[in-house]
Structure 1
Amino acid sequence: MDAASPTVGVEEEFLLAEPISGAPSPRNVEVATAAAEIGIDLQLELTRCQVETNTAVHTQTSELLDELRRLRTAVAGCAEKHGARLLAVAVPPAVPDAFPVTDTPRYRRIERNFGMLAHEQGLCGCHVHVGVPNRETAVQVGNYLRPWLPVLLALTANSPIYRATDTGYASWRSIMWRRWPSAGPPPFFDSIADYDDMVEMMLASGSILDTAMVYWDVRPSATFPTVEVRVSDVPATVEETALLATLIRAGVVMAQQDRRPPPRVSAELLRAAYWKAARSGLDGAGLDTLTGRPFPNHTLLARLIDYVGPALEQSGDLDFVTDTVEAVVARGNGARRQRAALHAHNDVIDVIDTLAAATLEGCY
């Protein structure tokens, strides 16, 4: 494992929506079958209105971006064949009272144990895996990344509209997701043994059913030799997903090179910073997790880029990051786009159309 240039892979979760009403479309099995016929292995999520793509591992941002483009284009075509639209959106803008749960033994067990939480999901995130030498390194890297997680959430916020209403939050997914007992801001762990003890307690208590239900926003992957960062809404565009992955990979590099101890940001301060990021998104104020002082999220994002700058220069990604951030700030992330679409005509179908276009923006 090259600590200076680790591998990166991305999982993107998508909503399937009805073309006319925009309501969630329970066709994930059909879409996954169509994708398999063209060589794409889609993952089925908890509800039948979701699918997940998985990239290969990459060392070059340009190659990752190309694969993200190909996957979105191909899966959107599979969805269209089965009367659905593929949307990169983190909560369904138009939703029923409950979502049908995907019929697998594991998901039915989750349904039995967690009740309505399983039926009010339809939440779509983006998970970034970065290669690390071992699980101990993954835990320590997570400690360094903890202070920056609210900034990444604000950057990618893409879920302000729910039940055809502006929730007042840029990332409503983040608010809803934290109802799960193992989700949200990760604790500070002194070691992998400390981490494993906590997971064992949650298993014994029934607050999780298996290690795949450790939903903290940074965790050692349960299946890969990686640290997995799960804080983000699924970004509206492929460029924003590649930006997220590039920033996280650079953060992992810097964490392994940092000779200072990781900052022990308190759980209370981190939760407050999460709430501010979810509420305000990229366009509002956030909290500096090291001082507890409010700053515009643009400023906090600039500080993150300064921190990971040496790693971005080393990988050749600094220009991509600065150019893409400039474009996102000028154009708006998914949250700003959705709100503009809703408030233009007060019609949720305009939001669906905007999301469908953004999902394939820059793809081929």
Structure 2
Amino acid sequence: MATHPTIGVEEEFLLADPASGEPVAVNETVAGHAAERGVELQLELTSCQVETATEVVGGTAELTDQLLRLRRVAAEAAAAGGARLLAVGLPPTVPHEFPITDTPRYREIAERFGMIAHEQGICGAHVHVAVPSREAAIRVSNRLRPWLPLLLALSANSAVYRKADTGYATWRSVLWARWPSAGPPPHFDSVDEYDAVVQMLQHAGAMLDDGMVYWDVRPSANFPTIEVRVADVPATVAETVLLAALTRAAVMTALDDERRGEPIPPLAPHALRAAYWKAARDGLEGGAVDLAESHESAPARTLLRRLVERVRPALEAVGDYDLVAAELERVAEQGNGAMRQRRAWQRRHDVDDVIAEAAAATLEGT
């Protein structure tokens, strides 16, 4: 590519009752208040969620400004609608089931997938990076697979659910994996193979349309971009920017490896599944599986530092290395969203403390 690839980020948020912390079904009302403030919020499957989307940007400084503004305006709109905006992978306290947003498509999804849909209520972050073509997106996807568990561990932000410590750093990723088209992307030899698999899943009833390709990496159907969607929505804007910068550098590195004809090391499905489970279970606080080299366990923080060094040429090319290195060390020392949640929970085992911590982190820096 002649220039550095552009990026864009989508963040999903929970709308919670300010008093009880339970999800509240006011997404249409909140979206209306946001529109009055010049921000378009997307409605998600459940009516207690909204999604923001940045514009396409060239650098992390502009991305930071947009993410801060979007969170601030979304929080103001939520307050105007009688809710509190939370950047959490899962609501710490939940109803029996989540109300479904009243659109024909979402009603059909709920009817077909039953309790999977009604227990959705999960919030992720999706990073879009420009690539030359859909063919390039497929090749990049194949090369990103060993690094996906590390991005999951980095962003983990759903440790507390149903007023309890789940024992996982990201319980969102465990619930998300129940969808038949979710999880790590398969290895595809070509765009034709990718399209054939998507068509097969649609014919089997496992998805309604291309919009239900829920793999953690997918090519855009309409634009020359690749979407990396493995992450919990991070607790803070700074962590989202770290995730986006590291993701773009990983995509750039994969493109460079492809141009140089570097072989793709074989990656067995069971090894990738084990690494995903380990990342979901431990997040940043334990070990992770080194899928890129040894396939042995090492501290997650160590493997993330290795990933930063692996993609360092790309980070330096776009001027992001110092930012990424410093923010990774800050997160490693102070904790990500899951670690914040656990610290808050362990004080009194009171979910109100977790919600207050999440609310503060959501607007940190705004």
Q: Which amino acid aligns with 1:261?
A: P
Secondary structure, counterpart of 2:229 in structure 1: strand
Q: Is the counterpart of residue 315 in structure 1 residue 312 in structure 2? A: no
TM superposition shift of 1:232: 0.1
Amino acid at match of 1:117: I
- The counterpart of 1:280, out of the listed 279, 282, 302, is 282
| Conserved 8 A contact 1:145-1:252 | yes
The Cα of 1:359 is off from its aligned counterpart by 0.2
The aligned counterpart of 2:360 is 357
Do the aligned residues in 2 keep the contact of 1:188 with 1:264 (CA within 8 Å)?
no
Q: Contact 1:157/1:232 (CA < 8 Å) preserved in 2?
A: yes
What are the Cα deviations for residues 137-163 of structure 1, in whole angstroms up to 9, with x where unaligned?
A: 000011111100000000000000010
Q: Are 1:221 and 1:228, in contact at CA under 8 Å, matched by a contact in 2?
A: yes
Q: Please, what is the CA RMSD of the aligned residues?
A: 0.9
Matches within 5 A, 1:91-106: 91-106=90-105
**Is the CA contact 1:143–1:263 (under 8 Å) kept in the aligned structure 2?**
no
Please name the residue that 1:221 is paired with.
220
Tell me the secondary structure at the aligned position of residue 283 of structure 2.
Answer: helix
1:167-195 per-position Cα deviation (integer Å, ceiling 9, x unaligned): 00000000000000000011011111111
> SS of the counterpart of 2:214?
coil
Q: Which runs of 5+ in 1 are unaligned?
A: none
Residues 93-132 of structure 1 aligned to structure 2 (within 5 Å)? 93-132=92-131
Give the match's secondary structure for 2:52: strand
Q: CA deviation at 1:225?
A: 2.0
The match for 1:336 among 334, 339, 355 is 339
SS of 1:202's partner is helix
- Give the Cα–Cα distance (whole angstroms) in 2 for the partners of residues 253 and 171 of structure 1: 27
SS at match of 1:316: coil
Relative to structure 2, which stretch is displaced further, 315-324 or 282-291? 282-291
Partner of 1:15: 14
Amino acid at match of 1:335: A
Structure 2: runs of 5+ lacking an equivalent: none
Question: Match for residue 329 of structure 2?
Answer: 326
Distance 2:195 2:121 in 1: 29
Instruction: Name the counterpart of 2:207.
Output: 208
CA contact (8 A) 1:158 1:171 kept: yes
Alignment-mate amino acid for residue 187 of structure 1? P
2:166 is aligned with 1:164: no
CA distance in 1, matches of 2:203, 2:54: 34
The amino acid across from 2:18 in the alignment is P
**Distance in 2 (alpha carbons) for counterparts of 1:75 and 1:153:** 25
Report the equivalent of 1:303: 306
User: Partner of 1:53: helix, strand, or coil?
Assistant: strand
Which stretch has the larger CA shift, 123-132 or 218-227? 218-227
- Residue 329 of structure 1 deviates from its aligned partner by 1.0
- What count of residue pairs does the alignment treat as equivalent? 362
Q: Find the counterpart in structure 2 of residue 84 from structure 1.
A: 83
Q: Superposition pairs for residues 209-288 of structure 1, below 5 Å?
A: 209-258=208-257, 259=260, 260-288=262-290
Q: d(CA) in 2 for partners of 1:262 and 1:220?
A: 19
| 1:101 counterpart SS class | coil
Distance 1:196 1:296 in 2: 37
Structure 2 matches for 1:175-194, cutoff 5 A?
A: 175-194=174-193
CA distance in 1, matches of 2:213, 2:266: 21
Whichever residue aligns with residue 158 of structure 1, its letter is N
TM-score after normalising by structure 2:
0.98
- Other structure's SS at 2:11 match: strand
SS in 1 for 2:221: coil
Letter in 2 for 1:183: A
Q: Distance between the aligned counterparts of 2:102 and 2:319, measured in 1? A: 44
d(CA) in 1 for partners of 2:267, 2:233: 26
Question: Cα distance, 1:221 vs. partner?
Answer: 1.6
Deviation at 1:81, TM superposition (A): 0.8
Aligned to 1:73: 72
The share of aligned pairs that are identical, in percent, is 60
For 1:330, the aligned partner's letter is E
Q: Which amino acid aligns with 1:161?
A: V
Distance between the aligned counterparts of 1:224 and 1:37, measured in 2?
29
Deviations 1:263-322 (A, max 9, x none): 231111101000000000011101111432111001110111011100011111100001
Aligned 8 A contact 1:7 1:58 in 2? yes
- State whether residues 158 and 170 of structure 1, in contact with CA within 8 Å, keep that contact through their aligned partners in structure 2: yes
